[in-house]
Amino acid sequence: MATKGPVGARGPAGSSRGGNSRFAQFKLVLLGESAVGKSSLVLRFVKDQFDDYRESTIGAAFLTQTISLDDQTTVKFEIWDTAGQERYKSLAPMYYRNANCAVVVYDITQASSLDKAKQWIKELQRQANENIIIALAGNKLDLVTDQPDKRAITTADAEAYARESGLLFFETSAKTSENVRELFTAIAKKLPLDQAGPRNPRSGGRGGVELRPENTSTQGAGNTCAC
Amino acid sequence: MPLDERSTDASEHAGPTSIDTEEESDSGNHSRVDKNNNKGEKQRPPLPPRPKAGLLQSDASPNSPQSVKGLRPSLQSKPTTALSSVDIQTLSFPDGSRGTFSTPGSRLVSESVMGLSTGTSTPSGKASRAGIDMDDTTSLISYAPTLRGNGDLESLLDSGLDSPSPAWKLLSTQSEAANPFESFEYEGPSLHSFDKEFDEIEAVDTKRGNEEELLIQWKSKLKHYIILSSAGKPIYSRHGDQNLINGYIGIIQTIISFFESAKDPLLGFTAGNTRFVVVTQGPLYLFAISKLKETDAQLRAQLDALYMQILSTLTLSNLTHLFTNRPNTDLRRPLEGTETLLSSLSDTFTKGSASSLLSALECLKIRKTQRYVINNTMLKARTPNLLYGLIVAGGRLVSVARPKRHSLHPGDLQLIFNMLFEAGSVKAGGGENWIPLCLPGFNNRGYLYMYVSFISARENAENVAERPSTASSVSQEDEIAILLISAEKESFFELKEMRDDIVEQLEKNGSMDIIKKAVRVGRSSATEMVPGTPLRHFLYKSRANVQFTMPSFSPDFGSALARRKLMNLYHALHASAHAKHAHTKVIHCISTDSVSLVWTTASFEFYCIAGPNTSRAALAQGANKIIQWVKREEERLFIIGGAVF
Ligand SMILES: Nc1nc2c(ncn2[C@@H]2O[C@H](COP(=O)(O)OP(=O)(O)OP(=O)(O)O)[C@@H](O)[C@H]2O)c(=O)[nH]1
Ligand SMILES: [Mg+2]
């Protein structure tokens, strides 16, 4: 039951230079209330797929996707798509602890989902990596194109909040893929790689991707609780 | 590697187990009867009045599970003579269409006479023994059926409504090679609404006033599972939304609580052709309603599995804690998302699952040496935090790595398989998964963490992307899953590395291709196993290994309906073989639409079915040959020992 931190095992995170090209990898976490469309956004981004009916995530899913910012720059995201249901909440720190960036998602047709998003943002700002880049995504944009009265949160309100809190902001549709790529690209561009070229985006032994064991004393099967 | 370890992956209980869903609990049958009679005699209000009739009803009425069995008891031992044949005048066609004259309440012993007269068999113990002589530890007792004895009650009840029509007789004698259930009369519970069984019932819309219509739909379901708290809070119902069934929840709670408070817990009751079974587990009441003629023991095992699913989400400690603090807890919130798992589990039972019936697992058939290589690959790649490692392909186990001290509980594996292969969520996620779950058979007080990754068994993976993610059991056929379980919640990347290592090695040593090929080929049909066999389907459970094997459902049982009919028969056979006082080792059943056989020994349970005109000798010989085949292939069909560390 030894705690472990296989930090370097999967290659150092961060970036490296080969000739003129730059490559960096970052850990990204998605948070937000259940059913707002986190998994749908990720699946659109990673596999360019969408399902009208998707079952709720159990636990968390891990996916990767690489994008090129320009001819020389490649960014690889290692993505944790977390479960939004209440009982998984206590596991969330495990996923955002070492994240370089986070996408906090709400559903623009559900007012309460923005409140939940704000809670997550607060938690991230308090507990996560201090340089974490946070994007706020108002999803299901397609639902309001035909029926504007379905909208529960105005773009202006959400945008204002995002500006105040220093967040990237997009309204997205996983269904039509509107703004999905833009969202992830904007994050990639904002990541430290930009300013300084090939360099570990954050110093201090972050592996970029590992679930670090730090505050978890070992636990057997007997004493943990995921709810 | 320790392939010599005969004791098995799943047979021993691991750890501090306090839940046991294993079989052999069929005593429920009998105790239930007693209970009911008691109840009836004491004239408790909520039950239908049944002083003497109670006995008839639960013991002998065609509607009660015991008498269910679609079997024609032409050859039975005493303890099982309570079996009688089912006769429902439902014209069920093999394609699932139907025209019904269901006379659901008519099944009688006189039919066994019919069974004889259409008779392919002349019952005599000797004849049977001649047929089956492989295993001399087998005690074979068979009796010619008589109308006396247990039959008396039934002949009192029914008055010969259902003798076969001359047309039927003609039909049944016509073709030698008729397949099971091909005749117009299918002798099981009425399945005429089976095709609508899994249709969703809309939400109640008071404006439109659709409630009545929805209730009709609701009542037409063959199977219900309802879970509520002892305080009467609804937790789960397979069909119908809360508004629709709230009234019923209240009634159920009242009835159960009444008996609970009298310290005489209610186990079940019958109304018409419907059986109601109750399981109470601490603060939870689990309630099954079935028109499928399953026995109480079988229904109880199903409810236990649902309870295990709830524990798997919450752990027993959390469940207890929630209700100790607030007896009025609404469990739906903490269980959020578990509903789909409960539903897919329920539907597995309703469709009929050999694995849950037998409480055993099925393995992918590969050569012993190939499995040895795969086991070794797992062991070599093992990382320190691994508790269990499993490779599963097409819903069947390929390899298991486990610590010496711990085996895997079949009930736990059922939950895992249900989550991964029946419910859509994990599979549809498209990535690797990290899932906290409690395996109640292993330890019902804490969580484990499961790494899951799927690999497509198809040559070109493109189809996988196209597959609708919500599709369930169909697609399980081509998935290979690697499951790595740990008690350490931060070990995702460790296990991910292990997985990468395993996959790389399996690719390198050719095992991956072997697995993929075995998955694509699928199960063989009985004829492919033993050419010329009259058997159309069979189940063979190796008791020591807690594993079973069976042929493909196609060609004869390809449709969901045909499969359910087959499963009905297996359920009935299983019930008679496991009846409390059944010392019988062989039961041979003849009905108008099939003949079947159960054979149990210390080492195996064998169930098989053939077309209605198969002679008993042919059936017995067919069974023998299949069993010989299984024995020959044993080390390919079953994981014996596995990779133990
Ligand atoms: N119309 C529309 N529906 C969407 C969109 N994104 C997601 N959905 C639907 O919303 C439902 C929930 O989406 P998910 O992606 O499962 O939501 P989630 O946030 O991952 O939920 P959890 O896993 O429970 O945390 C699904 O039925 C999706 O099809 C969108 O952009 N437009
Ligand atoms: Mg999700």
Asked if B57 and B50 count as a contact pair (C-beta separation under 8 A), the reply is yes
Closest approach atom of ligand 1 to CA A81: 20
Structure tokens at B564: 């359910």
Closest chain A residue to the Cα of B15, Cα to Cα: A221
Structure tokens at B148: 């006396």
CA distance B350 to A51: 27
Alpha helices by DSSP H, B328-436: 339-351, 354-358, 368-381, 410-417, 425-428
What value does the mean pLDDT take over residues B449-461? Answer: 80
Cα–Cα nearest to B552, from B509, B522, B582, B529: B522
- Give B562 or B176, the one with higher predicted confidence: B562
Residue B354 has pLDDT above 50, yes or no: yes
Cα radius of gyration rounded to whole Å, chain B: 25
Residue B201 has pLDDT above 60, yes or no: yes
How close A156 comes to chain B (CA, Å)? 33
User: What one-character DSSP code corresponds to residue B456?
Assistant: E
Query: For position A162, what pLDDT does the model report?
Result: 96
B378 Cβ contact partners less than 8 Å away, ≥ 6 residues apart: B389, B391, B399, B401, B502, B643
CA distance B241 to B444: 30
Q: Is the CB of A58 under 6 A from ligand 1?
A: no
Query: For position B218, what pLDDT does the model report?
Result: 81
**Is the pTM value of this prediction over 0.80?**
no
CA distance B2 to B201: 52
Asked if A61 and A135 count as a contact pair (C-beta separation under 8 A), the reply is no
- Give B156 or B283, the one with higher predicted confidence: B283
Asked if B561 and B194 count as a contact pair (C-beta separation under 8 A), the reply is yes
Return the best residue to mutate from A41, A47, A54 for the ligand 1 pocket (most ligand atoms within 8 A of CB). Answer: A54
User: What one-character DSSP code corresponds to residue B367?
Assistant: -
Q: Could you report how far apart the first and last alpha carbons of chain B are, in Å?
A: 9
User: What one-character DSSP code corresponds to residue B330?
Assistant: -
What value does the mean pLDDT take over residues B23-49? Answer: 39
Residues of chain B neighbouring A86 (CB-CB closer than 8 A): 333-334, 336
Q: Is the CB of A38 under 6 A from ligand 1?
A: yes
Residues of chain B neighbouring A58 (CB-CB closer than 8 A): 337, 419, 425-426, 433, 435
CA distance B232 to B257: 9
Decide: residue B454, CB within 10 A, 0-12 exposed, 13-18 middle, 19+ buried. Answer: buried
pLDDT band at A71 (very low <50, low <70, confident <90, very high): confident
Q: Which residues of B455-476 are buried (b: 16+ CB within 10 A; e: fewer)?
A: bbbeeeeeebeeeebbebeebb
Cα–Cα nearest to A133, from A56, A175, A189, A212: A189
- What residues 122-161 of chain A have any CB closer than 8 A to a CB of chain B? none
- Give B127 or B280, the one with higher predicted confidence: B280
Amino acid at A90: S
| Strand B448-456, strand B479-486: pairing | antiparallel
How close B492 comes to chain A (CA, Å)? 7
Region of poorest pLDDT, from A89-98, B180-189, B565-574: B180-189
How close B469 comes to chain A (CA, Å)? 7
Query: For position A93, what pLDDT does the model report?
Result: 95
Alpha helices by DSSP H, B234-338: 242-261, 296-314, 316-325
Q: State phi, psi for B324 to the nearest 5 degrees.
A: -70, -40
Q: Which of A34, A63, A213 sits opposite B431 (nearest CB)?
A: A63
Half-sphere exposure of B497 (CA within 13 A, CB side): 18
ipTM of the modeled complex: 0.81
Does B318 sit within 8 Å of A211, measured CB to CB? no
Q: Could you report how far apart the first and last alpha carbons of chain A are, in Å?
A: 22
pLDDT band at B427 (very low <50, low <70, confident <90, very high): confident
pLDDT per residue as tens digits for the range A19-66: 667 888 999 999 999 999 999 999 999 999 998 988 899 999 999 999
Structure tokens at A85: 């249901």
**DSSP assignment string, A97-145:** TT-SEEEEEEETT-HHHHHHHHHHHHHHHHHS-TT-EEEEEEE-THHHH
Q: Is the CB of A40 under 6 A from ligand 1?
A: yes
Region of poorest pLDDT, from B30-34, B397-401, B435-439: B30-34
What value does the mean pLDDT take over residues B62-66? Answer: 38
CA distance B425 to B305: 20
Does A112 reach chain B within 8 Å, measured CB to CB?
no
pLDDT per residue as tens digits for the range B113-164: 233 333 333 333 333 333 343 343 333 333 333 333 333 333 223 333 344 4
